[in-house]
Structure formats: C-alpha cells, structure tokens
C-alpha cells in the first residue's frame, strides 16, 4: 500500500515534469493520462530516459526525439487516442489475421494500430528492408531507432536533392518487392515516407501497412507503385508505375 502510494506520487511528479516541459506544449493536449502512464512505463522499463523536442506533429501521431537510458538516440511516436480519422484507421486493420476480432472503438483501434506498426517494422526488417529498428511498444506509444542524430533527424526524400535517381529507384523497388514477398503492402509509400540518412534509404510510417489478406491490398500496392515511380520519373529515372508493379508481383 505504501509502495503503491509512493508509485502514485512518483507518477504524478513525472507527469507534471512532462507537462511543464516547454517542448511538450506543442502537443496541444494530445496526451491523456493513460498516455502519460504509458510513457512513464517506458521510462521505468529503461527504454526512454530524457525527452528531446518534437520531430513532427501529425494528424495521427507526434514523433519526438529522446534518449534511452544509455544516452543513445531513439524516436518516440505517440499516437493520438482521439485520432479524428479512426474510422479510416479501422479500415486498414480489416482482414489482418494478427488483429482478428478486436473491438471497433476508437481506443481499441488506435492501440492495435500502434502494435501493428511495431510488428510491421519487425516483419519488414526480417524481410531485409531498411526500417527503423523497433524497440518497444506500450499502449499508444512506439519507441524505435532514431534515423539521424539527436537534434538533427534525417530528412525525407522529398527534402533532398537526389544525386542518383536510378540507383535510389532500384533500392526502393527492391524494398517494395521484399515487403510484398513477406506479405506486406506499405499503403502510404512515397517520397514523404522514405528517410535519407548516411547514404541509405529508410522506409518509415508502416502503421497502415496491410497484409495481402486485406481486400484492398492490390489497390494500395498499385497506388504505392504509382507514387514511387512518378516521383523517380520526375527525378529523371526511367520509371513507370506499371513496370514497377509487374516487377514487384512477378515471382
């Protein structure tokens, strides 16, 4: 009992520290108490030490830089429980054998979505696709490798000059194919969800990625191929959506 009271007090202090942190003021109330509790658990478990600033504040999630307990860099993605587009999010869970029978309410959808991003990162990694290494997931909070350096997160492909579009295109083509061979379709692949760091292209934002069981997986794959091929064609590469699609699905 005394221990429980002490833990409550420590948690209250932790929450206050996070709330008072200037950098978190940007979150415009996205964090409910349960989200603070999830972050607290990640701190207690040693995955997160100190928080840095936000890298991105999006519609569904905010991404922060943080340090782990050894002073290594991590990225922390916090999904909004109050995501306004949770009905759309729910659609991306359909048919996925990993999330069969989950409840359809907002909270259940967002929590599954967070776990889905974690397990998609794992699966992509196993398939040989360069993605941030998944580190921990707690409720609506995902901890992963930070691509780039603390204070200097790596840019996305749309924000850099592409020196060698042919080579970069070949790499992304191979990523899409490997994902597909592993039964996954990214579903939101474009120059905005590819990070460039240290001569490497890193695929991010795999929360919406669906398995090939999803009844729209082919439509999503064609859309990914269109986005990617059109981007690289604009950069001067010999790329078109149909031949990219054919390359990905041929065995």
- Active site positions, annotated: 188, 205
Percentages of the chain per state (helix, strand, coil), in multiples of 5: 45, 20, 35
> Which of ligand ADP, Mn ion, none does residue 132 bind to, with CB < 5 to 8 Å depending on kind?
ligand ADP
Could you give the C-alpha distances from 191 to 10, 127, 169, in angstroms and in order?
A: 43, 21, 11
Piece of the chain touching Mn ion by CB under 5 A; list 17-25, 128-136, 189-197, 214-222: 189-197
Binding mask 145-184 for ligand ADP (x = CB under 6 A): xxxx----xx-x----------------------------
Piece of the chain touching Mn ion by CB under 5 A; list 71-79, 163-171, 185-193, 234-242: 185-193
Could you give the C-alpha distances from 50 to 18, 71, 74, 82, 221, in angstroms and in order?
A: 10, 9, 10, 25, 38
What is residue 55's three-state secondary structure? Answer: strand
- Measured from the CB atom, the residue of 2 and 59 that comes closer to ligand ADP is 59
Query: Is there a contact between 142 and 64 (Cβ–Cβ < 8 Å)?
Result: no
- Does residue number 60 form part of the binding site for ligand ADP (CB under 6 A)? yes
- Does residue number 144 form part of the binding site for ligand ADP (CB under 6 A)? yes
Query: Is there a contact between 236 and 154 (Cβ–Cβ < 8 Å)?
Result: no
- Does residue number 208 form part of the binding site for Mn ion (CB under 5 A)? no
> Which of ligand ADP, Mn ion, none does residue 153 bind to, with CB < 5 to 8 Å depending on kind?
ligand ADP
- Does residue number 30 form part of the binding site for ligand ADP (CB under 6 A)? no
Query: Is there a contact between 185 and 221 (Cβ–Cβ < 8 Å)?
Result: yes
Question: Of the candidates 144, 135, 122, which has an alpha carbon nearest to the alpha carbon of residue 195?
Answer: 144
CA dist., res. 131 & res. 212, Å (int)? 20
Q: Considering the complex, what minimum distance in angstroms separates the CB of residue 135 from Mn ion?
A: 19
- Does residue number 205 form part of the binding site for ligand ADP (CB under 6 A)? yes
**Which residues contact ligand ADP (rule: CB under 6 A)?**
55-56, 58, 60-61, 63, 75, 77, 132, 144-148, 153-154, 156, 193, 195, 204-205
**Which residues contact Mn ion (rule: CB under 5 A)?**
193, 205
């Amino acid at each position: 009992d005394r221990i429980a009271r002490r833990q409550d007090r420590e948690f209250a202090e932790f929450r206050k520290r996070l709330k008072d942190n200037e950098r978190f003021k940007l979150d415009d109330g996205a964090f409910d108490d349960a989200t603070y509790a999830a972050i607290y658990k990640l701190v207690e478990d040693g995955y997160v030490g100190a928080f840095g600033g936000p890298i991105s504040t999006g519609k569904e999630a905010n991404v922060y830089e943080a340090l782990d307990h050894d002073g290594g860099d991590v990225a922390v993605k916090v999904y909004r429980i109050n995501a306004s587009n949770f009905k759309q999010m729910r659609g991306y869970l359909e048919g996925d054998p990993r999330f069969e029978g989950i409840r359809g309410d907002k909270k259940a959808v967002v929590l599954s979505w967070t776990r889905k991003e974690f397990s998609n990162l794992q699966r992509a990694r196993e398939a040989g696709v360069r993605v941030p290494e998944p580190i921990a997931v707690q409720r609506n909070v995902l901890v992963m490798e930070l691509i780039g350096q603390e204070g200097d997160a790596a840019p996305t492909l749309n924000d850099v000059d592409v020196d060698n579009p042919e080579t970069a295109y070949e790499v992304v083509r191979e990523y899409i194919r490997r994902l597909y061979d592993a039964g996954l379709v990214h579903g939101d692949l474009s120059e905005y969800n590819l990070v460039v760091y240290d001569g490497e292209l890193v695929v991010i934002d795999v929360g919406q990625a669906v398995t090939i069981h999803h009844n729209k997986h082919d439509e999503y794959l064609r859309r990914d191929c269109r986005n990617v091929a059109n981007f690289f064609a604009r950069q001067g590469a010999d790329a078109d959506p149909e031949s990219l699609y054919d390359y990905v699905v041929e065995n």
